[in-house]
Structure formats: structure tokens, C-alpha cells
């Protein structure tokens, strides 16, 4: 959560006027998903405390972290560098997010 705040503040203050409106929107999308899934990782940690035997819960947390790195990270890199091919990494992060949430749901259902 702290990194999402810091990266968001950097974008809002440090990048203001330095990125095009389109690239600023790309950056902001990364920040939003970073925040949402950082909260998700926190939630997964709480759930893991209640269901320590459910190994899928831990996998869900790692998939969400991977999603943040790939999805948000690729959007940050794309917006700052302008290298469009980095956008090809973003959907892989999206798949990690989806897999994380499904893994959490299935694990809890099975438990």
C-alpha cells in the first residue's frame, strides 16, 4: 500500500506536465490497479490467518503480487518510457489478477 501511495504521489506531482494526457492515464490506471490489488493482498493475509490450512489462499496472494508487478509495473514502464511493446506484458498481469481471485474463491469454497 505504501508503494502505491508513493508511486501515485510521484505521478500526481512529479510527472505533472511531463507526460501526455494519454500516458498520464496509462500511469493512473497502473496506480488504481496497484491500490486495488494491494488491498487484495492485505485481505488475503487476513483470510490466511483464519484458514492457515488452505494452501490456495497463499497462492492467491502470490498471484496478486505477481499481477501488481506485471500489470501495474508494465503500465508504469510504458508511460515513463513510451516503449509500446511493454503494453504486451500488461495482459499477463491481468491474467495473474484473475487467477489470484479465482484461486482464492476456489480455495475458500473447498475449505
**All cell numbers assigned to 50:** 483464519
Residues 6+ apart with CB under 8 A from 82: 23
Tell me what pLDDT residue 105 has.
Answer: 96
Cα–Cα distance for residue pair 44/104, rounded to 1 Å: 8
Cα–Cα distance for residue pair 17/79, rounded to 1 Å: 13
Q: Range of 102's domain?
A: 2-110
**All cell numbers assigned to 9:** 504521489
Q: Is 60 helix (H, G, I), strand (E, B) or coil?
A: helix
Tell me what pLDDT residue 111 has.
Answer: 85
Say how many CA atoms lie within 13 Å of 65 toward its Cβ: 10
Point out the residues of the chain with pLDDT beneath 50: none
Domain count of the fold of the chain: 1
**All cell numbers assigned to 45:** 493475509
pTM for the model: 0.93
Tell me what pLDDT residue 55 has.
Answer: 85
Amino acid at each position: 500500500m505504501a508503494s502505491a501511495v508513493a508511486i501515485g504521489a510521484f505521478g500526481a506531482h512529479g510527472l505533472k506536465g511531463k507526460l501526455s494526457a494519454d500516458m498520464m492515464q496509462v500511469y493512473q490506471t497502473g496506480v488504481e490497479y496497484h491500490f486495488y490489488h494491494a488491498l487484495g493482498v492485505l485481505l488475503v493475509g487476513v483470510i490466511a490467518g483464519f484458514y492457515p490450512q488452505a494452501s490456495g489462499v497463499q497462492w492467491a496472494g502470490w498471484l496478486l503480487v505477481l499481477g501488481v508487478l506485471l500489470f501495474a509495473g508494465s503500465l508504469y514502464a510504458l508511460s515513463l518510457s513510451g516503449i509500446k511493446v511493454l503494453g504486451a506484458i500488461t495482459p499477463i498481469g491481468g491474467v495473474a489478477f484473475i487467477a489470484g481471485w479465482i484461486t482464492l474463491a476456489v480455495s475458500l469454497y473447498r475449505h
